[in-house]
Each structure stands twice: as structure tokens, then as C-alpha cells.
Amino acid sequence: MPAADFDAAAFGETHITKGIGRLSKHVFEDGKGSWITTDKGVKLLDMTAGIGVCNLGHCHPKVTAAAAKQCGKITHAQVNIGFSAPQIELIKNLLPILPHPSLDTLFFWNSGAEAVEAAVKLARAATKKQNIIVMQGSYHGRTAATAALTRSKTIYGEGHGPLMPGVFATSFPFYAHFGLPVDTDVEELVRQSLHQVRLTLQQQTAPSDTAAILIEPVIGEGGYVPAPASFLHGLRQICDENNLLLICDEVQSGFGRTGTMFAVEESGVRPDVLIFAKGIANGFPLSGIASTNELMSRQKPGSMGGTYAGNAVACAAASAVIQAFKDEHVLDNVAKRSEQLVSFLHSLQKESRYGHLIEDVRGRGLMIGVQFANTPTTADSDNAAAATVKKPEQIAPKVVAECLKRDMLLLSTSVFDVLRFIPALNISEDELAQACGIFKESFEAAAKELGH
Ligand SMILES: Cc1ncc(COP(=O)(O)O)c(C=O)c1O
């Protein structure tokens, strides 16, 4: 037992790398559903779900029970030594819910970044080509390869180079990237962005050197921006014309987060490779890729695998997650709670005395972003006088701090002034109403404090 005056947060600050950025100094001890209790007994309402991981809430009883049961059977059924029974069971459960029947062959890993790297290795081995095209605003992880694929913030790669070579970034249809107003026609942004992808293939990386286009169907760390269906269709066409693979990173947007099991489903576009992680095992480390048998057969035996790849306990937890989605009609709740949250945010935008500060409410399902009217435009860059005027302080970090004072966890995202809601997908109507109440108070307090 630690001494009564032991300060776990202070101990952590001393002994854990300063390289971790942390939202709060709370020490989490218990989690149940949408609530976390700290070592000091503070009960926090969680609008982060551990960054989109605990989609069924913390410690979902059926997932916990399945993991506990597996712990008594076999915990480490190593995949380079034999087949793992819980992994085989998971594949049977996963195949029917993947976004396209051609995705019939899998590889499991531990983290999202590892799965992204597995997708890159597959694309390179299968196409015998090297380069990868990514989107401006993308986030794919913090390893040396995935930091190279990331274009949401420089912090992930800064000072850590040289990173993996062979990565080219192209435009994503997000008004703020173009410095255009929020009401810019989305289809015009799509046309511009597809034009840039085609130019990238003519000016930067030839199709004969390019293995794949990698995209998050909803850009996550880059600002919670869904890719319009027409953009995904356009990318599919460009990939088909140039013999490139289309890789969808659904690490954050997958497992019911956007109201369908995978975000790409809504567009009807077929990815060649799907990357998943986070929500699949509700907190147990598990990730993976799904692709066609034909592509996956082009990798040499021994080129894939890893000590903990597709851990048995995590696989058992994942099968329980899939069962709970069915038994508990989780996607129905996502649709209802999404409507509740979005209509609350729109009413705040219209009715609050500070509502004009909310520039955009966007997203799908329970992956909802709020962007404040604080984004530099091309007009600012063009105008020398405006360029010298200091932009007002960002609102999102202040709102996050105000929410924390009121015992609610909420995250910001991207270089823009954006907040993101990622609650558990089974959050109740009452809990979400409480969160909306706390958000309103926090937003208004932050706006007032910033002198608006
Ligand atoms: C879209 C996306 N890809 C990859 C990753 C990296 O996952 P991990 O942190 O598990 O390595 C993340 C993490 O937030 C993500 O959102």
C-alpha cells in the first residue's frame, strides 16, 4: 500500500518521459461506462473514450468477462508458432462486418501505428513499388515510418528525423487547408483536391514508383473532417487508373464510431487495405489490417508477425465487442446520440451570446468536431496589414480547461481551433445531456475569459 501522502501524479511527472503531452494530472483508478474515478475519488465524465478506444464504455462487463475467461485458458498463443484459437474465432466474427467481401484475409498487430506500417509493407511487397501518397492533415502514428506519413502537426516528426522516405502529401478537401471560408462549396474543394492528387502523380511521384494512396475516411488528429464520398470515389478511380492501392486508415473512425461499422462503408468505396485498431478490443491492445487473399499471398512467409501480434486475450475481448454491438443495438444509439449532440451544438451556435464564435459543427456519428471562428484565411495571408495583427488566442484549449474544472474530459485536435467529442457509443441520453450542459457553461466561461 502506498503511504497516505503519496502523490502519484507528482511521482509520474518525475518518472515518466516529458515527451508525453497530457490533458490532465488526474490519476485514473476505475472506469465504468462513460465515467472514470480518480485516486482522489473524483468522478469524471469522459468525452474522450480514451481517444476513441472504449467505444463500449470503460470495462464493459461482457468484454471484461471474455478477457478474464481467456486469461484462464491461454494468454499467449504465439502466431509464428501455431494458430491461435481466439484469433481464428475473431476472424470468423470480423469477416461479416468488414466493409467489403473482398477483404477476406487478415493480419493482427498491437497498435494502430504498427498496423499502418503493416499496410505499407503489404502495399510495397504486393505492388513492388515504394512511394506512398498521404493527405495533408493526416495522422497515422508516432513511429519513424508513421510519423513520416503524418501531416497533421509537425510535432510528431520534429527533431526525430530522418524519418521513412518516399512519402508525398496531397490536398484533402478541407476549407481551412485552402484558407477558404466555412461555407465554401464542398464539391469545389473535392475537384481542387482530386486535381492536386493527379498533379502529385505527374510532378512528384510517378505511378510506376507509387504503391498506394493512404487516407483516413474521417481525418482525426487533423481536425475531425469527413472525406466527402465524391472524394473517396475519385481516389478509387485514380488508384484504378494508375495501378495504386487505396488504403483506408480506420484506426479512429472504425468500430461504429461514425454510425456504421466502418466510415468508408457510407461511400460504398472498396478499399484494397483496411487498417483497424482502437475500438476493436475496447481497451485491449489490438490492431490489424484486412485485404484480399490475392494481395496478402504476395508476402513471403516470415516477413510478417511479431511476438505479441494479435494477442489471445485481446482477440477474445474483440469477439465480445462484436457480439455486444449486435446484442445491445449500439449503432442505433450512435444515431440517436449523434442527433442529440449535433442539434445541441447547432442550438448553442444560434442561441448563445457567444454562438458567433462557433464556425463549424461537423462529423459523423459520435465523431463530432467543433471549429471556432479563429482560422486564418487566405485573405489574412494576402493582406500585409492583417498578417501583422496577432490572431486571438485559441478558444478550444480554454474550453478544455474549463471542462476539466467541471470534471469533464474533452479533447481538442489539429492545428486549427477545434474540439472533438468522442464519447462511448453507448452513452445514455442523460449522460450526454449532462455533458452538453457542462460544455455550454465551459464554452461561455472560456469566451468571457478571452474577452469576447
Ligand atoms: C487514424 C489513426 N491512425 C493511426 C493511429 C495510431 O494508433 P496508435 O496510437 O495505436 O499507434 C491513430 C491514433 O490516434 C489514428 O487516429
The model's pLDDT over 399-439, given as tens digits with 9 standing for 90+, comes to 999 999 999 999 999 999 999 999 999 999 999 999 999 99
Task: Look up the domain containing 51 and give its range.
Answer: 8-56+329-449
| Residue 41 Ramachandran class (φ > 0 left, ψ -120 to 50 alpha, else beta) | left
With contact defined as beta carbons under 8 Å apart, do 222 and 172 qualify? yes
Q: Can you tell me which residue has the cell 462513460?
A: 34
With contact defined as beta carbons under 8 Å apart, do 348 and 152 qualify? no
My answer on whether 440 and 353 are in the same domain is yes
C-alpha 193 – ligand 1 centre gap (Å): 24
The terminus-to-terminus CA distance of the chain in angstroms comes to 49
Give the containing element (helix H, strand E) for 131.
strand 131-135
My answer on whether 426 and 341 are in the same domain is yes
My answer on whether 230 and 144 are in the same domain is yes
Total number of domains constituting the chain: 2
Nearest to 91 by CA among 77, 108, 73: 108
Answer whether residue 117 is part of any domain. yes
Supply the DSSP symbol for 373. Answer: S
In short, whether 257's Cβ falls inside 6 Å of ligand 1 is no
Q: How far apart are CA 201 and CA 347, in angstroms?
A: 44
In short, whether 249's Cβ falls inside 6 Å of ligand 1 is yes
From the alpha carbon of 221, which atom of ligand 1 is closest?
Answer: 16
Closest Cα to atom 3 of ligand 1: 140
With contact defined as beta carbons under 8 Å apart, do 249 and 290 qualify? no
With contact defined as beta carbons under 8 Å apart, do 356 and 447 qualify? no
pLDDT at 389: 58
Residue 297 is part of a domain; what is its CATH number? 3.40.640.10
In short, whether 439's Cβ falls inside 6 Å of ligand 1 is no
Closest Cα to atom 14 of ligand 1: 252
C-alpha 112 – ligand 1 centre gap (Å): 5
My answer on whether 303 and 291 are in the same domain is yes
Answer whether residue 2 is part of any domain. no
Q: Which three cell numbers stand for residue 347?
A: 442550438
Nearest to 325 by CA among 257, 226, 423: 257
The best mutation among 132, 251, 311 to test binding of ligand 1, ranked by most ligand atoms within 8 Å of the C-beta, falls on 251
C-alpha 163 – ligand 1 centre gap (Å): 17
In short, whether 285's Cβ falls inside 6 Å of ligand 1 is no
My answer on whether 340 and 405 are in the same domain is yes
Answer whether residue 374 is part of any domain. yes
In short, whether 289's Cβ falls inside 6 Å of ligand 1 is no
The best mutation among 109, 278, 280, 289 to test binding of ligand 1, ranked by most ligand atoms within 8 Å of the C-beta, falls on 278
Q: How far apart are CA 245 and CA 247, in angstroms?
A: 6
Residue 414 is part of a domain; what is its CATH number? 3.90.1150.10
Answer whether residue 164 is part of any domain. yes
My answer on whether 284 and 308 are in the same domain is yes
My answer on whether 140 and 203 are in the same domain is yes
Q: Chunked in runs of 10, what are the mean pLDDT values of the chain (452 residues)?
A: 82 97 97 98 98 98 98 97 98 98 98 98 98 98 98 96 97 97 98 98 98 98 98 98 98 98 98 98 98 97 96 98 98 98 98 97 98 77 61 92 98 97 98 98 97 91
From the alpha carbon of 141, which atom of ligand 1 is closest?
Answer: 6
pLDDT at 241: 98
pLDDT at 12: 97
Which of 327, 357, 379 is the last residue before a domain boundary? 327
Nearest to 246 by CA among 222, 269, 277, 278: 269
C-alpha 451 – ligand 1 centre gap (Å): 36
My answer on whether 316 and 187 are in the same domain is yes
Answer whether residue 178 is part of any domain. yes
pLDDT at 4: 75
C-alpha 386 – ligand 1 centre gap (Å): 37
Residue 273: beta bridge partners? 247, 291
Which of 327, 359, 385 is the last residue before a domain boundary? 327
My answer on whether 177 and 287 are in the same domain is yes
My answer on whether 39 and 100 are in the same domain is no
C-alpha 289 – ligand 1 centre gap (Å): 13
My answer on whether 92 and 126 are in the same domain is yes
My answer on whether 165 and 17 are in the same domain is no
With contact defined as beta carbons under 8 Å apart, do 289 and 106 qualify? yes
Answer whether residue 1 is part of any domain. no
The rounded Cα 320 to chain-centroid distance in angstroms is 22
Q: Which three cell numbers stand for residue 228?
A: 466527402
Q: How far apart are CA 311 and CA 28, in angstroms?
A: 24
Which of 327, 353, 374 is the last residue before a domain boundary? 327
Answer whether residue 91 is part of any domain. yes
HSE-up (13 A, CA, CB side) for residue 186: 8
In short, whether 139's Cβ falls inside 6 Å of ligand 1 is yes
Closest Cα to atom 7 of ligand 1: 112
Answer whether residue 3 is part of any domain. no
